Amino acid sequence: MQIKDQPAYYVVICFTKYASFEEAKTNAADDIATHIKRSHELHEKGTLLMSGAFIDKKDEPLSTMAVLTTREAAEEYIKGDPFVMKGMVSNWYIREWANMFAV
């Protein structure tokens, strides 16, 4: 699919219970590996376009985001995430994001 053909994307924002990315790497290395493997699979499937952790606010708990092609894909992504399933996400939400290049 071409970028211009996709009128909207779905952004998942997550707030974890980890104080930092370093804490998550220390305490949840296996969960991170599972999360990354699953993310690669969803990316290869074409539903997860990009994903990652915010790294600019070292004094705030670790937060992440992911951009997906449909609301259903976004819901599947978050509900199957190992951190969500283990209760290590304090809050999350999905927002519909307009693609300005689709006009």
Whether 5 has a pLDDT exceeding 90, the answer reads: no
The string of pLDDT tens digits covering residues 9-67 is 999 999 999 999 889 999 999 999 999 999 999 999 999 999 999 988 888 899 999 99
Rounded to whole angstroms, the Cα distance separating 96 from 8 reads: 7
Whether 1 has a pLDDT exceeding 70, the answer reads: no
38 exposure class (CB count in 10 Å sphere: 0-12, 13-18, 19+): middle
Q: 18: which 2 tokens?
A: 């980890």
Secondary structure element (H or E) that encloses residue 73, with its range = helix 71-79
Can you give the pTM of this predicted structure? 0.88
Domains of the chain: 3-102 (3.30.70.1060)
Residues 6+ apart with CB under 8 A from 93: 12, 13
Report phi then psi at 12, rounded to 5. Answer: -100, 125
Q: Please report the pLDDT score of residue 61 as a whole number.
A: 92
33 vs 100, more confident? 33
